[in-house]
């Protein structure tokens, strides 16, 4: 499986839209919840949750781009194509955060470490220890 390659980081966006387009992020959130979806299902869901309508063709294009990016798998269903995530949301977030940290550390290590330490509080430290233990168990 080709891992998702981060091409940009949009600080002004929220959540996974920092690394995907905003519509791509919405589609991925829906697909992670559904586990497997069709273009029609995603289109219907987005039309219910967005103020502005969106065309079927736009959603199909976005979903096929997510296939090209290695985030979705496309398979022939009974009457139409079905899409499922290649990574869980957790795997995706782990991949992205690891990539961003490694890249920042490569260029700005002393600053990254200083700001990371500066922004930790006791609750964060406990969470960090817990996450590190989970990460070590998984690997």
Give yes or no for a contact between 72 and 29, defined as CB atoms under 8 angstroms apart. Answer: no
The pLDDT-based confidence of 132 (bands split at 50, 70, 90) is confident
Nearest of 86, 85, 79, 93 to residue 37 by alpha carbon: 85
Enter the tokens of residue 105: 């550390």
Q: What total of structural domains would you count in the chain?
A: 2
Residues 81 and 103 occupy one common structural domain: no
Domain check: are 116 and 74 in the same one? no
pLDDT digits (tens, 9 = 90+) for 53-100: 889 999 999 999 999 999 999 999 888 999 999 999 999 998 888 888
Based on the domain organization, do 106 and 68 belong to the same domain? no
1 in a domain, yes or no? no
* pLDDT of 136 strictly over 50: yes
Rounded to the nearest integer, the mean pLDDT of the chain is: 87
Centroid of chain to Cα 30: 11
Domain boundary among the residues 85, 100, 127 is at 85
The whole model's pTM is what? 0.80
Taking alpha carbons only, the member of 109, 43, 39 closest to residue 75 is 39
Q: Is 4 inside any structural domain?
A: no
Quick one: pLDDT at residue 115? 85
pLDDT for 1 equals 46
Cα–Cα dist 32/12, whole Å: 23
Q: pLDDT per residue over 49-65, tens digit each?
A: 887 888 999 999 999 99
Q: Which residue has the higher pLDDT, 8 or 3?
A: 8
* Per-residue burial over 59-78, b = 16 or more CB atoms within 10 Å of its CB, e = otherwise: bbebbebbeeeebbeeeeee
Structural domain containing residue 95: 89-138
- Give the integer Cα–Cα distance in Å for 110 and 32: 36
């Amino acid at each position: 499986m080709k891992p998702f390659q981060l091409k940009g980081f949009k600080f002004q966006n929220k959540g996974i839209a920092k690394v995907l387009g905003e519509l791509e992020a919405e589609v991925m959130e829906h697909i992670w919840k559904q586990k497997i979806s069709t273009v029609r299902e995603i289109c219907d869901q987005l039309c219910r949750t967005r103020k502005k309508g969106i065309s079927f063709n736009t959603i199909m294009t976005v979903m096929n781009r997510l296939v090209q990016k290695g985030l979705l798998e496309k398979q022939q269903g009974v009457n139409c194509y079905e899409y499922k995530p290649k990574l869980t949301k957790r795997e995706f977030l782990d991949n992205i955060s690891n990539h961003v940290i490694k890249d920042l550390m490569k260029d700005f290590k002393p600053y990254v470490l200083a700001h990371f330490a500066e922004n930790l509080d006791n609750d964060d430290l406990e969470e960090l220890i817990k996450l590190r233990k989970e990460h070590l168990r998984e690997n």
